[in-house]
Amino acid sequence: MSPTFYSFLHVLGVLLLTATTFQAFARPDPQRRRATLMRSGIYALVVLVGGFGLLAKLKYGFPGWVAVKLGAWVILSALAGIAFRKPAQTGPLTAVAMLVLAAALYAVYFKPF
């Protein structure tokens, strides 16, 4: 498959994972927990496959900025589950999510490492 496909898959997955995470922050309803966490896991897998597929196609190896993005992926993937366990903490979790997303964007566009 082409690098464009993997790039599309990666960006779409990031958008959907972010939307699902913020949906969990906005309404951590215990009845919707299972469905939200399943979607979050599926989208996290799509992000991972798209990102590593793109790295393989472009033959980048594993530079430092990829490690930053991988760390951001782990944190963002976990935040939806944390929102259901600690619904009173969604304010600080939202700030963490925004900082993690900003760090990932910084890493991909400026490639500091």
State pTM to two decimals. 0.90
Tell me if 50 sits within 8 A of 13, measured CB to CB. Answer: yes
Please report, for residues 93, 98, 104, the alpha-carbon distance to residue 83 in angstroms, rounded to integers and kept in the order given: 7, 14, 21
Which residue in this structure is represented by tokens 């366990």?
Answer: 85
Q: What number is the average pLDDT over the span 94-112?
A: 94
Task: Give tens-digit pLDDT for 38-81.
Answer: 999 999 999 999 999 999 999 988 999 999 999 999 999 999 99
